[in-house]
């Protein structure tokens, strides 16, 4: 039975994440019935999350107006994070706070860009931030592609681990879409 294509958005927040984001987008694009968008949240230039209150007129800032439709169209998200996390990256927090309606009921996979294990407390904070927006974090993995100069530190099974993470994300995105469509 053919599946209707699900749309997965790969989100990055700093230039150092772009190569990993590209690698993930290509791997996700190889899956059956998956369309992929690549969104650099740094380039989106959302206003600071502490200003995430609409003006009295209710008009969204133009950067928010431009990004929200892309996020709403996504059935799931891959969020690429620096491996040396100390908290939620500002571009990710800005997207969470400004684009609140885009996350509800959608699965999110967190991928760290490093051979080092991220701080577990930082990951808990990020999971909680997505949870407050009613998103479901389906899994976490680390990626350190050879071309980033990490050939001696690459996760030995990172391609298979990443493919399993992507398959779980796509399955959760299909399930979320079916649930949403049946409302």
34 lies in some domain: yes
List strand residue ranges (DSSP E) for the chain, in order.
6-12, 34-40, 76-82, 107-113, 136-143
Q: Answer yes or no: is 143 within a domain.
A: yes
pLDDT at 19: 84
Residue 1 is assigned to a structural domain of this protein: no
Please indicate, yes or no, if residue 25 is contained in any of the structural domains. Answer: yes
- Domain limits for position 88: 6-181
| 70-89 pLDDT tens trace | 999 999 999 998 777 777 88
Classify strands 6-12 and 136-143 as parallel, antiparallel or unpaired.
unpaired
> How many other CB atoms sit within 10 Å of the CB of residue 9?
23
Model pLDDT, residue 55: 53
What does the pLDDT read at residue 149? 54
Inside any domain, residue 160 = yes
Question: Which residue numbers in the chain have pLDDT < 70?
Answer: 1-3, 51-59, 115-118, 145-156, 180-183
User: pTM to 2 decimals?
Assistant: 0.87
Tell me the C-alpha to C-alpha distance, in Å, between residue 56 and each of 64, 90, 96, 111, 163: 16, 25, 21, 38, 46
Residue 69 is assigned to a structural domain of this protein: yes
Residue 130's pLDDT is 94
- How buried is 163 (Cβ within 10 angstroms: 0-12 exposed, 13-18 middle, 19+ buried)? middle
Residue 165 token pair: 């993470």
User: Can you tell me the distance from the alpha carbon of 9 to that of 44, in angstroms, rounded to the nearest whole number?
Assistant: 14
CATH number of domain containing 45: 3.40.50.360
Q: How many domains does the structure of the chain reveal? A: 1
Q: What is the pLDDT of residue 7?
A: 94
Asked if 38 and 26 touch (Cβ cutoff 8 Å), the reply is no
Is 19 among the domain residues? yes
Q: How far apart are CA 66 and CA 151, in angstroms?
A: 38
């Amino acid at each position: 039975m053919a599946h209707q294509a699900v749309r997965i958005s790969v989100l990055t927040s700093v230039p150092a994440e772009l190569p990993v984001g590209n690698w993930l987008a290509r791997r996700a694009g190889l899956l059956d019935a998956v369309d992929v968008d690549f969104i650099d949240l740094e380039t989106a230039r959302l206003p600071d999350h502490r200003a995430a209150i609409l003006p009295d007129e209710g008009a969204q800032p133009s950067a928010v107006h431009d990004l929200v439709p892309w996020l709403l169209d996504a059935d799931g998200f891959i969020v690429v994070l620096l491996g040396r996390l100390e908290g939620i990256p500002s571009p990710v927090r800005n997207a969470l706070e400004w684009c609140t309606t885009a996350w509800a009921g959608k699965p999110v996979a967190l991928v760290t860009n490093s051979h080092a294990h991220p701080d577990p407390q930082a990951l808990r904070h990020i999971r909680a931030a997505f949870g407050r927006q009613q998103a479901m974090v389906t899994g976490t993995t680390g990626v350190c592609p050879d071309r980033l100069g990490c050939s001696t530190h690459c996760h030995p099974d990172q391609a298979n681990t990443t493919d399993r993470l992507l398959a779980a994300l796509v399955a959760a995105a299909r399930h979320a879409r079916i649930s949403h469509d049946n409302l």
